[in-house]
A and B are shown apart, each in its own frame.
Chain A
């Protein structure tokens, strides 16, 4: 079973609109972390936002916010007022302990295209 599931392979959004990228995860750990990364066509993975499993409030970083619903095991990324520069691949990732070692597991990503 996949640890991280991103069900939207691609999305097209009008500039200035808000967009929600879906991410669900599967873990039996009580302590884990959830990350979102952005990967433009240049290839670099850019860290956007982090949510710890014990954090009571949803994480926010500028135009990015993470809609964390622990009971549903979802950690959706919300981008407000989208810009053309937001066009990229977006990856959800989970940090968990596997056989005593911490590992970061990535989803398959969502390709976001912002339309002018």
Chain B
């Protein structure tokens, strides 16, 4: 496979469920990102991992928990979500060289519906 892949593509979960979103990049990049895209709102950056270390957390509620075991894989663990968390969750990756972030490439996203 090439590029950035995400699984599952669609997810429906109840507010008491626990689920995980998976992202894998095959581009040899060293940085990965989670974004949330809600209807009629700009893309919101949630988490950034550079060289497997979390470098940014944009005040995301603790019911979202990221995990980056290596530079190719990124997870988003979900628990006790709220209906307003329903959105498209996009993963992206890029190469960071000498502190400069190059073009981000995105996966197809996971459409999440919280009931």
Contact = CB atoms under 8 A, between A and B. Distances in A.
A35 interface: yes
Nearest to B40: A108
B101 A47 contact: no
Nearest to A43: B109
A44 B107 contact: yes
B42 A104 contact: no
B93 to A, nearest CB: 12
A96 B45 CA distance: 14
A53 B106 CA distance: 23
Contacts, number: 47
Contact of A103 (B40, B41, B45, B96): B45
B45 A104 contact: yes
A81 interface: no
Nearest to A44: B108
A44 B43 CA distance: 13
A43 B41 contact: no
Interface in B48-99: 48, 55-56, 88, 90, 92, 96, 99
* In the A-B complex, the 7 residue pairs with the closest CB atoms: A45-B106, A43-B109, A102-B101, A106-B43, A44-B108, A106-B42, A108-B42
23 contacts: A4-B42, A35-B104, A37-B106, A43-B88, A43-B90, A43-B108, A45-B90, A45-B92, A45-B109, A46-B106, A47-B105, A50-B103, A93-B43, A101-B55, A101-B56, A102-B99, A102-B101, A103-B45, A103-B56, A104-B101, A105-B42, A106-B42, A108-B40
Interface of A: 4, 35, 37, 42-47, 50, 91, 93, 95, 101-109
Given A106-B43, A107-B42, 14 more contacts: A4-B42, A43-B88, A43-B90, A44-B108, A45-B90, A45-B92, A47-B103, A47-B105, A91-B43, A101-B55, A102-B100, A102-B101, A103-B45, A106-B42
